[in-house]
Amino acid sequence: YAKQTYSARAGGFSNPTGVQLLRLMDEKKTNLSIAADVTSKVELLKMADQLGPYICVFKTHIDILSDYDETVPGALQALAEKHHFLIFEDRKFADIGSTVKSQYASGIYKIASWSHITNAHPIPGEGIIQGLKEVGLPLKRGLLLLAEMSSKGTLAKGEYSQETLRMAKRNKDFVFGFIGQRRLAEEGAEEDEDFLYLTPGVSMAQPGDSLGQQYRSPEQVILESKCDVIIVGRGIYGAADPVAKAIEYRAAGWNAYLKRTQQA
């Protein structure tokens, strides 16, 4: 699957959000996602408007906003339509099915009502997917499972990642991909089902931060590890000119994809 174009792969996906994302990437010629980790709503919306043209996915941590109010989701959705990107609330759910169902649908943020994509740790077992699915599927949302993390010392690796892959395979109507560091296949076997891999821990300048984050380049992620989307936070919004940086990361990610799919 890694050798096929994003849009050619869309036919192999049953989750509507996964299909939409694959098509959008080829149309917009971008596999860049911005991790918009800012604490003010003005900054968040400014980033979505300025960087919107260059990204496929706008990734939020809505609970780090100090001035969140109920106008934020509507404003984000309007920008998503204007610039043609998907919203991904990086909630990293990790509780039993019944609890995550409420956390996804209710509370202050009502994530399911505005975020096209969210994600979950597989640690509680498959009930977490079932719970989220009951809320998300009727709304045509999609879920990513955290198969591997970018941070030093992560416990999500090896057999844990393998079981995550098997859980995803049993829930392809809702789960269309992973947060991960490399494309997965069952041990000793070829990849037999297609998923999207969205990969954080990407920087062209830094090897890591002081809190365990580990970075790799867009080429390593897309070409060597055969992931599909690069997620970049501080590497872009921390730069003096975030728009210029986003253009650079977009080009690096896209050129690596063109090489991988032998279009360049």
Mark out the alpha helices in 71-116 (DSSP H runs).
71-83, 97-105
Q: Is 234 annotated as a binding residue?
A: yes
Q: How is residue 209 written in tokens?
A: 């931060």
179 binds ligand UP6 (CB under 6 A): yes
Judged by beta carbon, residue 72 or residue 221, the one nearer ligand UP6 is 221
Catalytic residue, chosen from 29, 46, 92, 110, is: 92
Judged by beta carbon, residue 110 or residue 234, the one nearer ligand UP6 is 234
Among 89, 90, 194, 248, binds ligand UP6 (CB under 6 A): 90
Which residues, including other chains, have CB under 8 Å from residue 105's CB and lie 6 or more apart? Answer: 111, 112, 113, 135
Query: Of 1-9, 21-29, 228-236, 251-259, which part binds ligand UP6 (CB under 6 A)?
Result: 228-236
Among 44, 213, 228, 260, binds ligand UP6 (CB under 6 A): 213
Site string for ligand UP6, 129-158 (x = CB under 6 A): --------------------xxx-------
Q: Quote the least distance from Cβ 64 to ligand UP6, whole Å.
A: 9
Burial of 42 (0-12, 13-18, 19+ CB in 10 A): exposed
Residue with tokens 């069952």: 186
Among 228, 233, 253, 257, binds ligand UP6 (CB under 6 A): 233
CB 195 within 8 A of CB 188: no
Whether 209 is catalytic is: no
Q: Is 162 annotated as a binding residue?
A: no
Whether 194 is catalytic is: no
DSSP state, residue 239: S
Q: What is the distance between the alpha carbons of residues 146 and 163, in angstroms, rounded to a whole number?
A: 11
Query: 29-41: buried (b, 16+ CB within 10 Å) or exposed (e) per residue?
Result: ebbbbbbbbbeeb
Counting every residue written for the chain, the total comes to: 264
Site string for ligand UP6, 235-254 (x = CB under 6 A): x-------------------
Q: How is residue 12 written in tokens?
A: 């192999």
Among 55, 100, 232, 246, binds ligand UP6 (CB under 6 A): 232
Q: What is the distance between the alpha carbons of residues 166 and 147, in angstroms, rounded to a whole number?
A: 11
Among 122, 136, 201, 253, binds ligand UP6 (CB under 6 A): 201
In whole angstroms, what separates CA 54 from the centre of its chain?
15
Catalytic residue, chosen from 28, 41, 90, 228, is: 90
DSSP state, residue 61: -
CB 184 within 8 A of CB 196: no
Annotated binding site: 37, 59, 150, 213, 233-234
Binding footprint of ligand UP6 on the chain (CB under 6 A): 35, 37, 61, 90, 149-151, 179, 200-201, 213, 231-235
User: Catalytic residue positions?
Assistant: 90, 92, 95
